[in-house]
Amino acid sequence: MSHLYTNFRWWRDGAPCNLQISAQGKVTYRGSEEPLADDVTDLGGAWLMPAFVDCHCHILSTGLDLHKLNLSACDSREQILELLRERSEQTPEWAWVLAVQYDQTRLEDGRHITADEIESATLGRPAILRHASGHACVANRTAIGLADARDVEGGEIVRDRHGEPTGVLLENAMRIVYQLLPPPTREEMADAIFAASEKLNAMGIVSAADMGATHNLEDQFWAYQNAIERGARLRIRLYPNWSQVFKGGPQLPEPTDNLRVAGIKLYADGAIGAGTAAVSEPFLTGGKGKFMYSPQELKTRVKTAHDAGHSVAVHAIGDRATDLVLDAFEATGEPERHRIEHAMILSDEQIERVAKLGVSISMQPEFRLCFLHSYRRQLGDERATRLLRFRSVLDAGIPLGFSSDSPIVPGDPWDGIRMATEHPTEAITFEEAVDAYTRGAAGLDGDELFGRLDIAQFADFQIYEHDPRSGGRPDKMFFAGR
C-alpha cells in the first residue's frame, strides 16, 4: 500500500515538497507534484530531512553504560570520590562499582586519581573508572589485587617508583580487570541494544555501525537479532574486532537490510586524552604514544581481512599511526576499499596521500565539544586548533562520514554539526555537515539504499516542526524497516 506525505518543506532550501513511498518502504517520488497514493498524510508545513546515520559508535556499550555511574560532570577529586561513595553504598558487597566518563584532564592538576584514593571511597568493593577516551581506566586497590598484574603486550600497567601499580591501566592492560567482570547475559545484551536504539532514535538516528565487539561475538549476534525482532528501529552495521573473526570466531550472520557485518575493526594506536595516540610531536605531558601492533603485524592483519573480502576500518588518531595505516592499506593493492577511523591529526601531505589512495575517513566532530579541554592540555592550544581537518578533507575529495563514537560522547548529531560548522580553521557548511551525517556516513558503511531519500532508497526520515538549522530533537521519525 503506497503512502504520500504532502505539504512539507525540504531541509536543504525550505522548498515545498511531497514524498511518495511504496508498500516496501522505498521512495517512489519526491518533488512538488502530488502523485496518487492509497494513503495521504499532510505534514502541515513541517520540515523533512533524511534520518541520520552514525557510522562509528558502540551500540551495545551505549546501552550497557546507561546503568553505570557517569562522572562526566566531575572536575575535582572530591566530586569523583563523593559519587563513588554514594554508588558504593547502594552496591551489594559482592558486586563491582563501575564508572564511566572519568577524565583526569578536567582535574586542576591534571593528575590521575589513584587506586588508593578510589579504595577509600568504595567500601571494599572492587571498582573501575573507565576513561572518557575509552583507552584507559583506573582500578582501585581491591580490583588490582584480584587481577594478574603482569605486564601486558599492547598496553601498560602504570607503576610508581617502587614498581607497584598506581591503578592506571592503558590500552590492552585494561583487560586485566575487565576480564574479571561477569559478562552480561544474552538477554541483558539484547535489552541494552534495544535501550540504545531508543536513545539513538530520539536523536534522529536509525542506522548505526557498532565498531568492535566487547563480549562473546556469537552471543552479541544473537542479541542484535533479538533486539531487532523485538522492534528495535535501527539498521545495525557490525565491525567485529579482527581477532574475533580470524582466531576461530563464529560464522558471520547472513546479511539483512537491518543487520549485517560491514567490515572488520582494528586499532593502530590509542587516544589523545590518555596520552596513547601515536603522535610525531610529543605530548606536553610527555611521550609520543604507542602503536597497538608493529608495522608488519598491522599489514598482515589488514591483508588477511582484505583477502577474505572485508572492508577494514582502522582506528588511527595520531599522525604516526595514520602513516602506518596508509602503508597497510596501500599494500593490499585496493586501498579504496578501506577506511580510517578518527584521523584527528593530519598533515597536508597525509591528506594528499589519503585522497590519492581513495581511502575514506570517519570523523567525530562532537569530540571538539567534549574533549577540547583535554586536547589543549595534552597538545597545547596551537596543535589542538589543528585537529579534525574537515574542510581540507572535503576539499581534497576524500569520502567523509561523520559519527560519534558513543558512548565516548553523548552522540547527538546536532552537536556534531554545530562543531563542524564552527571550527575555527576547518569549518564546513551546514549542508556539508548534514551530508556527512547522512549520505556520507551511509556510504562509508557501504549502504547505497538510504541517506538521501532519492528514488528507490529506503524512506528513513525525520520531521521537524521548525527549521532544522536551529537543531534540537526531531518531532517525528519514519523508519522504513518497520
**DSSP notation for 269-333:** ---TTTT-S--SSPPTTS-----SS-HHHHHHHHHHHHHTT--EEEEE-SHHHHHHHHHHHHHTS
Which amino acid, 17? C
pLDDT the model gives residue 248:
87
Cell, residue 115: 587506586
Confidence of residue 25 (pLDDT cuts 50, 70, 90): very high
For 471, counting Cβ atoms within 10 Å of its Cβ (0-12 exposed, 13-18 middle, 19+ buried), the class is: middle
The answer to whether residues 344 and 272 touch, using CB atoms and an 8 Å cutoff, is: yes
Condensed to tens digits (0 to 9), the pLDDT of residues 116-141 reads 999 999 999 999 999 999 999 999 99
Q: What is the pLDDT of residue 213?
A: 79
Q: What does the CA dihedral 300, 304, 310, 313 come to, rounded to 10 degrees? A: -20
pTM of the complete model: 0.94
Residue showing cell 511531497: 18
What residue spans of 114-163 are helical by DSSP H?
Answer: 115-119, 141-146
CA-CA-CA-CA torsion sign (133, 210, 314, 435) = negative
* DSSP element (H, E) containing 424: none
The number of angstroms, rounded, from the C-alpha of 11 to the middle of its chain's C-alpha atoms is 26
> Cα–Cα distance between 156 and 168 in angstroms, integer?
8
Phi, psi of 209, deg, nearest 5? -105, 120
pLDDT tens, residue by residue, 263-317: 999 999 999 999 999 999 999 999 999 999 999 999 999 999 999 999 999 999 9
Quick count: other Cβ atoms within 10 Å of Cβ 386? 17
pLDDT in tens, 57-94: 999 999 999 999 999 999 999 999 999 999 999 999 99
